[in-house]
Structures are given as structure tokens and as C-alpha cells.
Amino acid sequence: MRCPVPGLVSREESTGYRLTTVGSGLMPVLYSLRGWAETWLPDDPAMMDRDPDVVLGWLAKRVSPEHLPAEPVVLEFWPDERGRRYWLVLQERVAPYGCLIDPLLDSGRYVYLRCAVPTLLALARGRQGWSDAFADGSLTASGETDLCHRVSEWFTPLTAPITSASG
């Protein structure tokens, strides 16, 4: 394998490929571009079919670790337009993780969430708050009542609304 831009990566026998100082210097630019894209590019509903693991990763990054339950809770997402379901496992002191197949944990610890794909993407990208989605009916929850009432606290609240470039 050859890198098309010489000097960005080097190959080391013991560790494989590694970014050089020049390659590492490019990382802030790439992170900045990613931030720009997450803010300004529209959500793509096809993401749920093409890359559901990316959407689950976005949801995991929005988790508020200080409010997680001591015992594992499974959030089962079932977007209205899709036949597929997706799972996010939350537990105190454990990194949240997404599953493309049911993790088959204690069924009394599941919260079943229904919403349209655009709502799920808005929640995952931090463009809509969980409390707001429950309040306007675009997100519904079923399962053990106490767990359903706690879903919003497990995610970071919105800090500021995103506005368009035109104001």
C-alpha cells in the first residue's frame, strides 16, 4: 500500500503505519472539516441503512456519563420507516456501545424508542433535545416506567441552537 502524499505516514516494522509529524499536523484541519460538516451538511436518512454504526457512535458520544444507571440499560431504537432495529447499551463506568443485533440483556432493562429517522438523526447529531422530542411526540418510549422517564437525563442537553449561515 502506498500513500498518495509522501511524508504523511511512515511504515515501521513493529507497529505498521504511523502518522509522521507532517501527517499529525494535518489532523486539526481534518477535525475542523468534520466539525464543519456535522454542523452544516444536512442529515442523510440513508445513513441508517448505509452506516447505522456511525449513527450509534454519534448517539454514544452524546451520552452524559455522570447520569448513567448502575445496571445496564438497553435503548432499542426502532425508526418508524424501517424494519430494522438498533441498540445502545448504557451503564455507569462502562463506555456506551451500539449493537446492530440485540445484545440479549435483561429484558426488564430495555427501553423501546420509536421515532422517524430524521428525529433519530437530529438526536444523534445534537440538533434536537431528548426532552423536546418526547414533548412534541416525535419520540416515544415504552418499557419499565422509571427507565423511560430517565432517558433524557442520560444524554447531554443541547448547549445552543444551530443557526444557518444567513442568520
**Residue 75 and residue 29 in one domain:** no
Which residues lie closer than 8 Å to 103 by C-beta, 6 or more apart? 74, 87, 89
Q: What is the bridge-based pairing of β-strands 94-99 and 16-19?
A: unpaired
- Please tell me whether residues 133 and 74 are part of one structural domain: yes
116: domain CATH number is 3.30.1050.10
Whether residue 104 sits in one domain with residue 55: yes
Question: What's the confidence (pLDDT) of residue 161?
Answer: 41
Report whether 113 contacts 75 (CB < 8 A): yes
Find the domain containing 116 and state its range: 47-154
CB atoms within 10 A of CB 146: 8
Judgement on whether residues 67 and 148 belong to the same structural domain of the protein: yes
Q: Are residues 55 and 78 in the same domain?
A: yes
List, in sequence order, every residue forming a beta bridge with 8; answer none if it has no partner: none
Q: How large is the C-alpha radius of gyration of the chain?
A: 19
Pair 78, 146 in one domain: yes
Give residue 46's pLDDT: 81
Model pTM? 0.74
DSSP symbols for 80-106 = TT-S--EEEEEETTEEEEEESS-----
Count how many domains the chain has: 2
What pLDDT, on a 0 to 100 scale, did the predictor assign at position 160?
42
34 and 65 both lie in a single domain: no
DSSP letter (8 states) at residue 143: E
Does a structural domain hold residue 166? no
Mean pLDDT per 10-residue segment, the chain (167 residues): 69 83 88 78 78 92 94 93 87 96 96 94 92 96 97 84 41
b/e 63-97 (16+ beta carbons within 10 angstroms → b): beeeebeeebbbbbbebeebeebbbbbbbeeeebe
87, part of any domain: yes
131 and 87 belong to one structural domain: yes
20 and 97 both lie in a single domain: no
Are 97 and 26 in the same domain? no
Q: Are residues 114 and 69 in the same domain?
A: yes
Based on the domain organization, do 22 and 69 belong to the same domain? no
